[in-house]
A = this chain, B = another copy of it.
Amino acid sequence: MSIDHNERLLTPGEVAVMFRVDPKTVTRWASGGRIGSIRTPGGHRRFRESEVRTLLAELTFDVDAAG
């Protein structure tokens, strides 16, 4: 019984833990279009794991070396 879902989804709380921020902050990122999100029919947000990891990787490359 394998489903052809090509993407794993994360909850706001899980993303919040990964970024070490409050879930509310993740919600704001979604509202502002900084991160893509999917809504459940009930209105709760889900986030694509691949996108989240990409954002995390980008943070890694940002060494705050602003001039």
How many copies of this chain are found per oligomer? Answer: 2
Q: Establish whether residues A41 and B59, one from each chain, have CB atoms under 8 Å apart when the complex forms.
A: yes
Q: Please, how many angstroms separate the alpha-carbon atoms of A23 and B48 in the complex?
A: 19
How many A residues touch B, CB cutoff 8 Å?
A: 41
Q: Establish whether residues B36 and A62, one from each chain, have CB atoms under 8 Å apart when the complex forms.
A: yes
Q: Please, how many angstroms separate the alpha-carbon atoms of A31 and B63 in the complex?
A: 7
A39: chain B residues at CB < 8 Å are 59-61
Among A9-32, those with CB < 8 Å from B are 9-11, 14, 17-21, 25, 28-32
Contact pattern, A 29-67, Cβ under 8 Å of B = 1, otherwise 0 = 111111111111110101000000001100111111110
A30: chain B residues at CB < 8 Å are 61, 63
